[in-house]
Amino acid sequence: MVANSFISRVLRKVPRENAFYFFTSIGNYTGENAASLEEFVRKIKEVDAKSLGFHLYRGDFEKWVAETLEDEELAEKIRSLKSLSPSGNSLRNQLYLIVSKRYEKLKGEFCS
């Protein structure tokens, strides 16, 4: 059982300066951002697949999840996805599965 204090920290909305900003390459911001895990799940489905590849292989997702949302377990799962070298829609689907599963689990445990 995960502590409610931990769950509320991971699921909180962070200030805009700490949100995740989606880029497609160095310096090219798409205009999409996520300020919470819930928004992050939604954006994985919406943003350009190129952006997902750019951030996954730079380690940006795992860094934001570990340092801003403070969810080391989810960060580790995202980190391990890199070793499978997914790309395009396969990357989108696998990343979505990992992150949405974690989000649903934390949300479910918080309510119970």
- Point out which residues bind another protein (CB under 8 A): 16-17, 19, 21, 23, 26-31, 33
Nearer to another protein, 7 or 64 (CB): 64
Q: How far is the CB of 13 from another protein (least distance, A)?
A: 14
For another protein, the closer of residues 27 and 83 by Cβ is 27
The closest alpha carbon to 21, from 72, 75, 84, 68, belongs to: 68
Report yes or no: 59 and 75 within 8 Å, Cβ to Cβ.
Answer: no
Residue number, 4 or 28, with CB nearest to another protein: 28
Beta strand segments in 1-112, E: 20-25, 28-34
Classify 27 as helix, strand or coil: coil
Name the minimum Å distance from CB 52 to another protein: 16
CA gap 88, 65 in Å, rounded: 21
Output the smallest distance, CB 88 to another protein, in A.
Answer: 22
